Structure 1
Amino acid sequence: MKAFKNVRAYIDGKVRTADIAFDGKIAGIDGGTDGAEAVRLPDGAIVTAGFIDTHVHGAGGADAMDGTTAALDVISKTLAREGTTAFLATTMTAPREQILSALRAVAEYGDEGNGAQVLGVHLEGPFISEKYKGAQRADCIRKPSAELLAEFNRAAGGRIKTVTFAPEQDGADGLIKYCVDNGIVASIGHTAATGDQARRAADAGARGVTHTFNAQSPFSHRDVGAAGVALGDDRLVCELIADCIHVSAEAMRVLARCKPTGKIVLITDAIRAKGLADGESELGGQAVFVKDGQARLKDGTLAGSVLKMNVAVRNMAEKVGMTFEQAVDCATINPARKLGLQDERGSIAVGKRADFAVLDKDYNVLATFVNGKQVYRNY
C-alpha cells in the first residue's frame, strides 16, 4: 500500500488537503494510510484524477495506424508525460486492410501498457464526408456500413468505443443502431450534415461530436449545421481541441457558454509528431510539417495537433475562464462518463482506479500514476 499524505487533491468537486491510500485502486481517503509507504510530492503539487484522451492518433514518433504493439507502447509512454493515464488509439481513413491491421494491434496489446492504458479504439473514418475530410484520404472514404463496422469491431476484439461518421451519408442509420446496440459512442464528425440531418442522428442515438467546429458544416442563421446542433443539443458530448489553433479562444468560450460543462471533453487529436522537434512528419501517408505548435499538410490544411493534454486543461482555465475544477473535469470525469466508465475512473474516490496526474500551479506535470504505479516523474 502507498499513500499521498497531507497533499492538495481535487476530490468531490474541490481542491482540499487530504491523505490518499492506494494500491491498484484507491483504498482510503483521509484514512487507511497507517503503515502505507509515503509517496512524497513537491510543495504546492496538486493531485487530480488522470487525464483521459479519447481522440489521439499518435505521439513520440509512433501512430496507431502503424499497426504494431510497439507503436502503441511508444504512444502509451509518451502520453503519460502529460498526465494522461488512459486513451483511445485513434485510426483514420485508410485502406481496409491497414485499418484492420491497426485494430488487431490494439486487440493484441491489451489493457495495460508501460504508460497510459489503451482503453480501446476511436474509429475516425472511413465513414466520413469528402467535403469535410480534413487531412484524411478521399480515395479511402466509405459509406457508413454496420456490416463493415462489425468486421472492424471483431478485429479489435470488441474494443471499438467511438466511431466518427457523417450522418448525411446513406447507411448512417444502420451504423448508429449498431453503435447503440454494442455500447459504442456514435460521434458526428467530418460531416456536411444540415442541422436537420445532425439532429436526426442525435434522435437515432448519436451522442458525440468529433472535434467540435473542425471538419463539419458550420453554424449559420438559416441552417445551424452540425456545429449549431452541437452547441444546442445537450444530448451530444462535444470534443474540443483546446489549442487556440484549431479553435480560437473566443469560439472555445462560446462552446463553454452554450454547453453544460459536463458535456465538453478535451482531446488532443495529436499525431506522431507530438513530443518531437519541429520539422517534417507524417499522417496517413501524407507529409506533415510541424512548426510553432502547428501541424499542417503542404497545402496548409491542419493535420491533427501536437497538443498536450495538460496544456489543453490550462487553456480552458486561462483562455476560457473555467475554474481549475471545471477545466480538469473536461479531461477526466467527462470523458469517463462519455465512455460509461465513471464508476471506475475519472475522479478520486474510494474503489476507483489509482490513476493520478500530479500538477504544479502552472499545470506542468510532475508525475503520473497508472493503476497505482508511477509511470512518469519530473521532480
Structure 2
Amino acid sequence: MSSNGLICFTNCLLPQEDGTFVEKDLWIDETRGVILDAQKTFFLRRERPDKIIDLGGNILSPGLIDIQINGGYGFDFSVYEDNDGAYMDGLRLVAERIVETGVTALVPTLITQEKSLYPKLLNLLKPWSPPNAAHLLGWHAEGPFIQMAKRGAHAPPFLLNAAEGFKSFETIYGQDNLADAEDWLMSCGLTQDALGVRIITAAPEVDGVMSAINEFAKRGGCFSIGHSIATTDMATTAVRRGARLITHLFNAMPQLHHRDPSIIGLLGSSPFFASGATYTPFPVSTAAHSKKPSNSDTTGTPPKKAAHASEAFDEIETPPQTPVLLATQRVQAQDDKATLPGTGAITPLPLSRSATYVGGQVEPLQRPYFELIVDGIHAHPNSVRLAYTAYPEGCILITDAMKILDPHLKDGVHPWRDGRNFVKEGDKLYLEGTTTLAGSVVTLDKCVRNFAHFTGCSLAESIKCATFNPARCLGIENRKGTLRAGADADLVILDRQGNVISTWIRGKVVWGKK
C-alpha cells in the first residue's frame, strides 16, 4: 500500500498569531509540502495520517524568517568575484547551513557598495528555493542612499543621493529589479503566486529619496527607514508616503529626544495626529548662554538666579541630535506640504476615537514595523523592552549577521573584505582597530530566546516576532510565518526553552539535533 504523505504532529504546543500557545495536533502533507486543515482532510478525504509524530510536549513553530542578514558560513552576499556560479554556490551554502538555527526563509542583504554591482547582484538574488535548504525570498538593499553621518560600517565613497528621485533608484538598482511586483516575478521566471521580496533601506532626508518612496511602495516593494538623521516630521512623512519598516531600531539613527524623538518616535505615533500638522516645540535659545553672568542687565533688571532655573519654564540649550533645520529644508524642497518646525500647530483633540476631527477628515497613521537586533549588544535589554511595550505588533527580530555567522565559530580575528578584518568576541563583532559595530554574529533562534528574557514576554510572543510579524510586514503571511491551512510546511521544533531540535522545509526534515 502506497503512502498518502500525511503526517500528524501530536502532543505539541503550537504558537498562534496572537502570541499564545495552544495544545493541538497539526497535520501536514509532506508530498505537497503544505499545512492541512485536519478536520477537512479527515472528513472530506476520509484519510488518516500514515505517520504520527509525538513531540513530547515540545513546541512546533513556523520556521523563523530573517529579513536582514548579510551573509554567513564564510559567504558575503555583497561580494561578487565575476563568477555567477560561485555566487550561487555561496547562496546555496548559506541556505543549507542556516537551517540549524531554525531559519527556513531569509532575505539576503547587500550593504553599500560600488554602484555597477547592484544590477548584477540584485538579479542573482531573485527568489530561489534550493532543495533541502531555507528559501531565499529576494533581496534587501541597505544603501547606497543613506546618511553619511550615520553610515556605520558602510563605505563613504559609495554613498549617493537620489537627485533624480525614483529614476536614481532605477539607475542604481536596475529598472528590471524595480519593476511592478508581478512583472519582476515573471522576469525571474516565477509565477505570480511566488513569494518575491524587495526591501530598500534609505534615509528620507537624503536628496531625492522622499519623492521615491511612494513609487517603490506602489511597485510592491518595502521601503525601510534607516541609517538616517530624519526628524520626526520627515520620518512621519516617509511613513505616510509608504515606508513600512525601520531598519535595526536604535542603531544608525538619532537617539530618542523628548522634543524631537526622530525615527524612534514613530513607535509612539498617535493614529489621531492629523496629517500635515506639526508639533511646535518649546523654543530653544542660545542667547542666554552666550552672556556672561552679571549683577544686572542693561535694563537694570536683575538676572535670573541659576538656583531657580527649571527646564519646564526656562529657555535652555539642548544639544541637537540632528541638524533639524537644514534637513527639514531639504525635504521641503521635495514636498510642498512639509512644514518647518515651529510653524504649525497641534490639531484639536478628537471628540471620539475615530478618524474624524474638529478640523475635518484625517487618515489614521499606521505605525511602521521595526527591526531589533537582540544580541544584548546592539540594544540594551531595557531599550528592547521599551520598544516592544510601545508597539508589540510591529516588532521584528533580525540578526543583521555578517559572513562569519556560524554558531560553531571560535572567537578571534577573521577576514572581512578589502583587507579589513572582523574581531569576534562572543556575540560582539566590530571592525579591527575600531570600536565600530559591524553587524552581528548572533543567530535568530538565540535572538528569540534573548527577547523573551529581556522583555518578560512569553516564548510564544517572542516566536511571533521572528515568524508572523516579518511575514505580515512583507505581505506573505498566508504562506510563511504561520500555521494556517494551506501555508508552506516550513517548521521548526523547539524545546520549552526555545532551543532548536529539528527543522523542516516543505514537510521534510532538513536538519536534526544529534
Corresponding residue of 1:363? 498
**Equivalent position amino acid for 2:508 in 1:** K
- Distance apart, 1:185 and its partner CA: 1.0
Matched, 1:220 2:257: yes
Corresponding residue of 1:266? 397
Of 123-132 and 97-106, the range deviating more from structure 2? 97-106
Distance 1:25 1:55 in 2: 25
| 1:258-337 mapped onto 2 (5 Å cutoff) | 258-259=390-391, 261-275=392-406, 276-283=409-416, 285=418, 286-298=420-432, 299-337=434-472
C-alpha spacing 1:82/1:6, structure 2 compared with 1 (3 Å)? same
**Equivalent position amino acid for 2:397 in 1:** L
| 1:44-123 mapped onto 2 (5 Å cutoff) | 44-67=57-80, 68-107=87-126, 110-123=128-141
Corresponding residue of 1:128? 146
Deviations 1:21-68 (A, max 9, x none): 322111233674755342646534210011111101111111211341
C-alpha spacing 1:113/1:57, structure 2 compared with 1 (3 Å)? farther
Corresponding residue of 1:16? 23
Corresponding residue of 2:234? 197
**Equivalent position amino acid for 1:127 in 2:** F
| 1:206-245 mapped onto 2 (5 Å cutoff) | 206-232=243-269, 234-245=366-377
Please say if residues 65 and 99 of structure 1, whose CA atoms lie closer than 8 Å, have aligned partners that are also in contact: no
Corresponding residue of 1:163? 200
Please say if residues 168 and 197 of structure 1, whose CA atoms lie closer than 8 Å, have aligned partners that are also in contact: yes
Please say if residues 12 and 54 of structure 2, whose CA atoms lie closer than 8 Å, have aligned partners that are also in contact: no
Distance 2:110 2:93 in 1: 16
C-alpha spacing 1:281/1:230, structure 2 compared with 1 (3 Å)? farther
**Equivalent position amino acid for 1:65 in 2:** S
C-alpha spacing 1:161/1:27, structure 2 compared with 1 (3 Å)? same
Please say if residues 95 and 130 of structure 2, whose CA atoms lie closer than 8 Å, have aligned partners that are also in contact: no
Distance 1:2 1:150 in 2: 46
- Distance apart, 1:283 and its partner CA: 4.5
Please say if residues 269 and 367 of structure 2, whose CA atoms lie closer than 8 Å, have aligned partners that are also in contact: no
Deviations 1:143-188 (A, max 9, x none): 1352243352525856552110000111112320221111111100
Distance 2:260 2:233 in 1: 8
| 1:243-262 mapped onto 2 (5 Å cutoff) | 243-259=375-391, 261-262=392-393
Corresponding residue of 1:7? 11
What TM-score comes out, normalization by structure 1 length?
A: 0.93
Higher strand share: 1
Distance 1:283 1:190 in 2: 21
Which structure has the greater CA radius of gyration?
Answer: 2
Please say if residues 13 and 57 of structure 2, whose CA atoms lie closer than 8 Å, have aligned partners that are also in contact: no
Distance 2:265 2:152 in 1: 19
- Distance apart, 1:117 and its partner CA: 0.2
Q: Between Structure 1 and Structure 2, how many residues are aligned?
A: 377
Please say if residues 107 and 137 of structure 2, whose CA atoms lie closer than 8 Å, have aligned partners that are also in contact: yes
Unaligned segments of structure 2, at least 5 residues: 81-86, 179-183, 186-195, 271-365
**Equivalent position amino acid for 2:29 in 1:** F
Of 326-335 and 193-202, the range deviating more from structure 2? 193-202
Of 41-50 and 69-78, the range deviating more from structure 2? 41-50
C-alpha spacing 1:289/1:258, structure 2 compared with 1 (3 Å)? same
- Distance apart, 1:98 and its partner CA: 2.7
Please say if residues 267 and 390 of structure 2, whose CA atoms lie closer than 8 Å, have aligned partners that are also in contact: no
Local SS of the residue matching 2:266? helix
Corresponding residue of 2:330? none
Distance 1:201 1:93 in 2: 21
Runs of 4+ in 1 over 4 A off after TM superposition: 155-160
Distance 1:41 1:133 in 2: 49
Corresponding residue of 1:139? 157
Distance 2:497 2:439 in 1: 25
**Equivalent position amino acid for 1:142 in 2:** L
What TM-score comes out, normalization by structure 2 length?
A: 0.69
Deviations 1:3-30 (A, max 9, x none): 1332313154423131423221112336
Deviations 1:70-109 (A, max 9, x none): 11111112221111111101001000123333223213x7
Deviations 1:169-216 (A, max 9, x none): 111123202211111111000001111211111121111100000001
C-alpha spacing 1:292/1:231, structure 2 compared with 1 (3 Å)? farther
- Distance apart, 1:318 and its partner CA: 1.5
Distance 1:357 1:202 in 2: 34
Please say if residues 19 and 30 of structure 1, whose CA atoms lie closer than 8 Å, have aligned partners that are also in contact: no
**Equivalent position amino acid for 1:25 in 2:** V
Distance 1:6 1:359 in 2: 14
Identity %: 29
CA RMSD in angstroms comes to 2.1
Match of 1:183 among 179, 203, 220: 220
- Distance apart, 1:137 and its partner CA: 0.7
Distance 2:131 2:115 in 1: 26
Of 226-235 and 125-134, the range deviating more from structure 2? 226-235
Corresponding residue of 2:307? none
**Equivalent position amino acid for 2:368 in 1:** L
Please say if residues 29 and 349 of structure 1, whose CA atoms lie closer than 8 Å, have aligned partners that are also in contact: no
